[in-house]
Amino acid sequence: MHITRRYFLQSTGALALYCGINPLRTLAEVGMTSADVKPVLRGKTFVAVFLRGGMDGLNFIVPFGDPGYRGLRPSLGLPTPGAPNGTLDLEGFFGLHPSATALVPFFKNGSAMALHAVGYDLNTRSHFEEQDTWETGVAGNTINSDGWLNRHLLTSQGHGPVRAISIGDVLPRILRGKAPAFALRGISDLALPNAGTVDDTKMFAAIEHAYCTPPREHESAAQDLLAETAQTTLDGIKLIKQKMAEGYVSIVQYPKTDFAKKLQEIARVIKSDIGLEVAEIDYGGWDTHQNQGSVAGSYATLVQNFAEGLSAFAQDLGDRLNDVLILTMSDFGRTAAENGTGGTDHGWANCMLAMGGNLLTASPGGIVKPVLSRWPGLEKNQLHEGRDLLHTTDFRDVLAEVVSVHLGNPQIKTVLPNHDFQPVGFLRT
């Protein structure tokens, strides 16, 4: 059987571990011991959706009640609720883009909420640098940093051999690091051809040959890999193959879009009960410098596909949504004012969409508050550098709540280093 380096690296994310880095030495590097690793017992799943390109949050969660909004966007600004093609009112001040109709029921029942004016104070407005920052959780030089979700995996224990997956061709930065994670085009990728009939000894020999030269020099490291990483990969393959044989039928009809297909793959794994803890997918195309449109055009299509895909995913999960948190991230927001080509340029703060059953908006008998924000305003003197929505919530505070509250990992200062945390309060403790 032929095992490619690319497959193994993407499947495990553990090249450093294989070539001799002991897990306890890895913990020591971050100032921890094995006693610091706490088990995660609650069986929660976190789904990160990265909207690559810089989503225009001001036309997704629309501050139609802000007197500065329409003046900044004479052609892109959405009409008020009740007008033709108007904003879908959420709570009297904020509304949804009209192409996001599929999400309205979730906002109304408290299983969706938006966090607005989120960002951080060192934004460079560079796609490359800001995607790195959001994926590593480290501001500044992120060249040598692993992903913050991988650090979560490294500092906690899960429930099965497949804790983390990304649906796509490559493992994203957010999941890269020393803890195993799978990058898959689809669930069928987990089943290597004839994997169930291959002698495991030959499998490990092939892995050793691919990653350590000369192989005998690293024989003990190969045994570490056998115990810590390769066996985990094989266990995951066998378990997924077994679950796939049991069949999977979605209870809803997913849209025929690439984004929806990726969500359906994740739903399939969650429903397989194999202990999936973290999943990630990308949805690109949000760099709308030109011809962005308000209720028509590429942006409206992106929003519609996004909303309909998430709606199908949430319905497919059913009561499992109570144990799932979906959270969107993007490079940065867009400029508050439209540009001269009918689009928006690289900006500052943005909105994040959260969906799940543990949002603080969903308190029994309470008033559902669909948008959480310390709104800074859109008047000229309220804008960052006179051009952008100012951030009032640091994105690392949002991520810290995901790690500590939803995933139950107390090691937030290791997962998200070099930051003084402030409470956000969007998840029920």
- The pLDDT tens digits for 119-155 are 999 999 999 999 999 999 999 866 668 999 999 999 9
By the 8 A CB rule, do 88 and 100 touch? yes
User: What value, to the nearest 5°, has the Cα angle with vertex 47 and ends 183 and 161?
Assistant: 50
Number of folded domains that form the chain = 1
Query: What pLDDT, on a 0 to 100 scale, did the predictor assign at position 205?
Result: 52
Q: What strands lie across the sheet with 95-96, from one edge to the other? A: 61-62, 95-96, 88-89
Residue 212: C-alpha distances to residues 3, 5, 109, 230, 297 (Å): 14, 11, 54, 14, 51
Asked if residue 23 has pLDDT above 90, the reply is no
User: Quick one: tokens of 110?
Assistant: 């408290």
Q: Whole-angstrom Cα distance, residue 412 to residue 410?
A: 6
Q: Which long-range contacts (CB under 8 A, 24 or more apart) does 245-249 make?
A: 246/272, 248/272
197/249 Cα distance (integer angstroms): 28
Which one is predicted more confidently, 283 or 2?
283
- DSSP assignment, residue 179? S
Structural domain harbouring 76: 44-159+255-415
For residue 321, is it within any domain? yes
85 CB-near residues (< 8 Å, 6+ apart): 78, 79, 98, 294, 295
Instruction: Judge whether residue 81 has pLDDT over 80.
Output: yes
φ and ψ at 114, to 5 degrees?
-115, 145
Residue 239 lies in a domain: no
Q: 283 - beta bridge partners?
A: 51
Instruction: Please tell me the predicted confidence (pLDDT) of residue 140.
Output: 81
Gap between the Cα atoms of 415 and 148, Å rounded = 6
User: Is residue 190 domain-resident?
Assistant: no
Tell me if 22 is assigned to some domain: no
Query: Is 272 among the domain residues?
Result: yes
Q: Is residue 76 part of a domain?
A: yes
CA atoms of 191 and 242, how far apart (whole Å): 10
pLDDT tens digits for range 318-346: 999 999 999 999 999 999 999 999 999 99
Q: Does residue 302 fall inside a structural domain?
A: yes
Q: Is the predicted pLDDT of residue 238 greater than 90, yes or no?
A: no
User: First-to-last CA distance in the chain?
Assistant: 48
Q: What is the pLDDT of residues 180-214, one digit of tens each?
A: 888 887 765 554 334 344 455 554 454 444 444 44
The DSSP code for 391 is P
In 10 A of CB 328, how many CB atoms? 23
* 307 found inside a domain: yes
CA distance 389 to 348: 6
Amino acid at 86: G
* Residue pLDDT, tens place only, 349-384: 999 999 998 999 865 666 678 999 999 999 999 999
- Report the distance separating Cα 193 and Cα 211, nearest Å: 21
Model pLDDT, residue 274: 85
CATH number at residue 307: 3.40.720
Q: Which of 387, 405, 297, 298 is nearest to 345 (CA)?
A: 387
